[in-house]
Amino acid sequence: MGSKLGSVFVCMALALLAAGVPARAATTDDSRICGQETARQEQALRIPDRLLHAISLVESGRWDPDRQASFAWPWTVTAEGEGRFLPTKAAAISEVKKLQSRGVTNIDVGCMQVNLQAHPDAFRNLDEAFDPATNVAYGAQFLTELYAATRNWAQASAYYHSQTPPLAAAYKSRLLAAWDAARRRPDDRLLDTLAEIENRPAAGMILPGSLAGADPNVVAALPASDAAQIGAAHLAKTLAERAEAKRAADAFRQAALEKYRQHKLQMADNRG
């Protein structure tokens, strides 16, 4: 998340949590927490179906080789160009304190990777910053403020990461592919099989005017300011990622169908 815009809305977000949103049910499966909260905020703030969920996957998505899928991880910390998936809330808070003790201030935290430098008033303390309900509520409110300014959900989602045009464009194409894949799946808010997400580190937010944590290939292209070239590259990348998202979704459906068929055959054999 790359702008201080929207930090004044934290009180509104917290009030929404307190007044109109039911408390999250206790769970021992931390992989479910971010998905539960993004679903709740999408409904409360009328954000398009699974858009906030897709942003959380791109921001803090964690690949699970056992389940062959990814999910947003609430104890994610990104700093110095590196995403860190900590095992617990306490460990995530400790990691941020260590970074801050070394003078690091550009730090993204939680499900929605809220940047503590760009949004210094978002949370009262680190315990609140890593509270999934509060973290997601703030990210959701910031997204809706960006939408109010742009009147375009896709552009607002790109600006969630960065308002530097080439960086926003690269993020936007990745996000649209994630959103497309999320909408093709049952709405379990737990797993996503999009190949473009699963093996990448957490994206994090880019501060205005900063290239910290940016893709080196994107940074190298920044001097090329020709709008037509950037537009053509963006379109080509978007189409390619959409095609890959469709291929991944189709492969998942075929694998699931084959597994079901094999199960039915096994059941028939057992009855015989």
Name the phi and psi angles at 190, rounded to 5.
-120, -50
Q: What is the DSSP letter of 206?
A: -
Q: Tens digits of per-residue pLDDT, 26-62?
A: 334 898 899 999 999 999 999 999 999 999 999 999 8
What average pLDDT does this structure show over 185-200?
51
Domain containing residue 200? 7-242
152 part of a folded domain: yes
- 24 has a pLDDT exceeding 70: no
Q: Is residue 259 part of a domain?
A: no
Nearest CA to 111 out of 85, 148, 90 is that of 85
Asked if residue 271 is part of any domain, the answer here is no
Written as one letter, the residue type at 128 is E
pTM of the model: 0.64
Instruction: Please tell me the total count of domains within the chain.
Output: 1
d(CA 166, CA 170): 6
266 in any annotated domain:
no
pLDDT surpassing 60 at residue 228: no
Residue 269 lies in a domain: no
Is 139 or 8 the better-scoring residue by pLDDT? 139
Give domain status of residue 268, yes or no.
no
Task: Count CB atoms within 10 A of the CB of residue 26.
Answer: 5
